Structure 1
Amino acid sequence: MFDPNLFDQKHIQSQSSVALTVFAVGKYLDVYLGNFITSAEKHFMLGLQVTYYVFTDQADKVPIIELGPRRSLKVIQEFKGRFGSEALGDSVALVHAWYYKLPKDKFTYDRNPKSKAYMETGDYYYHAAIFGGLCDNVKDLADYCFLGIMEDKLNNVEALWHDESHLNKYFWLHKPSRLVSPEYCWDPVINEKRDINVTRLIWAPKHYDKLRTR
């Protein structure tokens, strides 16, 4: 039906990257996750850069699996409090937990004029962990980031924070209708909560030394 090598070489030359998302909660983590990742390492998008995003309520139980080159696994622990309809809007962006109290000159926008994500200034620094809105608006955002990343690749450029840099550029040009507080994706490493009284979704510890390969 098709020549797999032809497709593989095309995407390897284009430096395509792939994200695979899996939800592993409760008993499903124990029963399925290890086999799922192990089988993906044997069969899924071999030769390409792959990131597994594991959403779980038991981050400490995620199995340590040796991954191949250019493949990594990121654990995202799930919800701790109400995450409701107050977060809905036509175009939704999340204010980054590490930057919402900092002055604008401390925001880590991409400062390389050769990148499509280049920004001199902006309103906020947004976290790419959460965004949303109406279907057409989310598609516009995804298309904008994809085209920017592809154009950067053609020019041998990579934005500082990858897709997040392009997302920040998009929201600078197309203002979101709803800003979501950092409490909707809080990093517990920040010892002082400042004015954050409720945490609704939290970052999981990033054990890159165990979960990420070169």
Structure 2
Amino acid sequence: MTASTVSLGAVLSQGDPGEEHPVLYLSRKLLPRETRYSTVEKEALAIKWALEKLRYYLLGQEFDLETDHRALTWIHSMKDHNSHLTRWYLDAYLKTFLTSAEQHFMLGLPVTYYVFTDLPDKVPNITLASQRNMKVIQVEKYNRWQDISMMRMKMISDAIESEIRHSFPYVFCFDVDQEFKGRFGSEALGDSVALLHAHYYKLPKHRFTYDRNPKSKAFMEDGDSYYHAAIFGGLWQNVKHLVDYCYLSIMEDKINDVEAKWHDESHLNKYYWIHKPSRLLSPEYCWDQSIGDKSDILVTRLVWAPKHYNTLRTG
């Protein structure tokens, strides 16, 4: 994908690396308002536009996305949100997450998706099945993604206290940059549900990336497993206990000018070390397709979406 001062362009190719053959060429002129976008925004727009135009070729396929514009890496370190880029982030991840959830997540059961965002008007419209609803909750805007990651614990706690506990017995919390690929149903329910991290479940304990700073509330000398904060859940009472514990620990660290190694995930691992989960999900429930050895993963139920952080992540 590429962009100029007046147009967008893209090429769909197939074949082995270094031997690709073009299948389709695309181009269009920029709209008058789009010509006023910054260079970075134009390049990001080219990616969004090309993926939308080629979606029927790409659906269900693994593919590489290439752009020739190095300036896009600037987004990785920018200090504030950009409304165009944030909307495209939601388009890229949230739409895929929700549409795939409608095909695989807790089918036949009533489900409400709670979407936390500082830009509620940018959330894409999704057609939901019967007994499926979505509620968008506007939250405070944070400049750093690390703060978003940590402060989501308070957001979840507040939502459980104000609404969820009156309507549902179970709560599951997901990172949105994931895609459902297979059944994720009632077999995953439990009083307290944790997920084994795909990158650590085979490693010896001394390689687990616990927080080793004794000044942090997340400090751990030892543990049993390394858990992934991309998914956790259970009965609402237990989820609230978990997120309250993590939030209070995070705030105490802030008072002491400490930040845990992996932010909320470090505190979550400390919690599960003290309060053992009643149900443990295998990495098939959140698999990273870049991992070469998947000999013991027979089914992938949820996969990490391609992390184009150099083009989409803010902070």
Structure 2 residue matching 1:123: 3-state secondary structure: coil
- Kindly indicate whether residue 272 of structure 2 is the aligned counterpart of residue 171 of structure 1: yes
Q: Distance in 2 between matches of 1:81 and 1:101?
A: 23
Q: Distance in 2 between matches of 1:132 and 1:34?
A: 24
Q: How does 1:202-213 map to 2 (within 5 A)?
A: 202-213=303-314
Q: TM-score, normalised by structure 2?
A: 0.48
Give the residue type in structure 1 aligned to 2:207: K
Quickly say closer, same or farther: Cα 1:112–1:133, change in 2 above 3 A.
same
Query: Which residue matches 2:242?
Result: 141
User: Alpha-carbon deviations, 1:118-167, whole Å to 9, x = none?
Assistant: 00010100000111111110000000000000000001100000000000
Check conservation: 2:211, 2:220, Cα contact below 8 A: yes
Q: Distance in 2 between matches of 1:185 and 1:79?
A: 9
Match for 1:194 among 265, 286, 295?
A: 295
Query: Which residue matches 1:56?
Result: none
Check conservation: 1:75, 1:206, Cα contact below 8 A: no
Q: Distance in 1 between matches of 2:313 and 2:239?
A: 29
Structure 2 residue matching 1:92: 3-state secondary structure: strand
Q: Distance in 2 between matches of 1:172 and 1:44?
A: 30
The alpha carbon displacement at 1:185 in A equals 0.3
The alpha carbon displacement at 1:48 in A equals 4.8
Query: Which residue matches 1:81?
Result: 182
Quickly say closer, same or farther: Cα 1:164–1:134, change in 2 above 3 A.
same
- More RCO (CA 8 Å, sep 6+): 1
Q: TM-score, normalised by structure 1?
A: 0.69
Q: How does 1:15-94 map to 2 (within 5 A)?
A: 23-24=94-95, 25=98, 36=122, 45-46=140-141, 48-49=143-144, 51=148, 76-94=177-195
Quickly say closer, same or farther: Cα 1:49–1:178, change in 2 above 3 A.
same
User: Alpha-carbon deviations, 1:29-68, whole Å to 9, x = none?
Assistant: xxxx99606xxxxx9745654659xxxxxxxxxxxxxxxx
| Larger Cα-atom Rg | 2
Structure 2 residue matching 1:128: 3-state secondary structure: coil
Deviating 4+ runs (over 4 angstroms): 46-52
Match for 1:126 among 227, 231, 256?
A: 227
Give the residue type in structure 1 aligned to 2:218: A
Quickly say closer, same or farther: Cα 1:44–1:90, change in 2 above 3 A.
closer
Structure 1 residue matching 2:271: 3-state secondary structure: helix
Quickly say closer, same or farther: Cα 1:138–1:112, change in 2 above 3 A.
same
Give the residue type in structure 1 aligned to 2:122: F
Check conservation: 2:284, 2:297, Cα contact below 8 A: yes
Aligned residues: 162
Structure 1 residue matching 2:228: 3-state secondary structure: strand
- Kindly indicate whether residue 264 of structure 2 is the aligned counterpart of residue 155 of structure 1: no
Q: Distance in 2 between matches of 1:142 and 1:34?
A: 23
Check conservation: 2:208, 2:226, Cα contact below 8 A: yes
Quickly say closer, same or farther: Cα 1:206–1:34, change in 2 above 3 A.
farther
Check conservation: 2:144, 2:314, Cα contact below 8 A: no
Percent identity of paired positions between Structure 1 and Structure 2? 69
For structure 2, which runs of at least 5 residues remain unmatched after alignment? Answer: 1-89, 100-118, 124-137, 150-174
Q: Distance in 2 between matches of 1:190 and 1:92?
A: 24
For structure 1, which runs of at least 5 residues remain unmatched after alignment? Answer: 1-21, 27-32, 38-42, 53-73
